[in-house]
Structure 1
Amino acid sequence: MEERSIGHVDALGNLARVVLLPGQRHDCVGSEPLLDGIAPGALIGDKAFDSDWLRLQLNQRGTLAVIPPNASRASAIPYDAELYKWRHLVENFFQRIKEFRRIATRYDKTDTSFRAAIHLVAIVLALK
């Protein structure tokens, strides 16, 4: 089964947490375990994270949702476009870890070894 990883990076673009999901699952489902036990000031996500239940959960936690509205929404929800520009840090991190062949090709057979490889690469990148 193909797996996808969803990650949370800090304000400097370093890995804070990673969750592995089955390939057919929506990224939004992985947001709950990422947010468990932390209190971020804002969550910056792409349109895939635009869901009412996630926005409600973030609002209840006092977290600002910086998520552009999906085109299928009946009414557009405003978001901070200037703050959204910082989403590139997440994209940059995942592009950098894919430079390592083991990560890009999903070489590892088990979830544990794949997650460990992601953490090892994150450490290497943070030390640069």
Structure 2
Amino acid sequence: MPNNIIDGGIIGISLILDYLFTDNPFINFATIVVILNIPFMISGYKHIGKTFLISTVIGIVSLAVIESSLHHVEAFTTQPILATVFGGLLLGFGVGLVIRNGGSMDGTEILGILLTKKFLSPSVSLS
């Protein structure tokens, strides 16, 4: 973890577990993030639909593949504030693309979408 900064949610938990199991070649970020998101993807499929599931799988697999391919790239800054800003911008851009296309990239986002659907009044506009 460059700069010792992590994200929250399933992604953050996956990063911590990846860090703890660094010596185990079979346990890596990509595997962990996919496994931890499976229950949320199933719930999203049941309550939201097939299109949501497909978009979410594409988002989560893309995140896992990109993170795995960039995992060994040296950090471009040692300044924690710059790393936080750039990381937030890149992650926000990626999450925005996936949500705009009807999916999610993290189990906690799926949970948020499900809770919004359940508890928000139909008269409230989100746009």
TM-score by length of 1: 0.31
Q: Which has the higher contact order (CA 8 A, sep 6+)?
A: 2
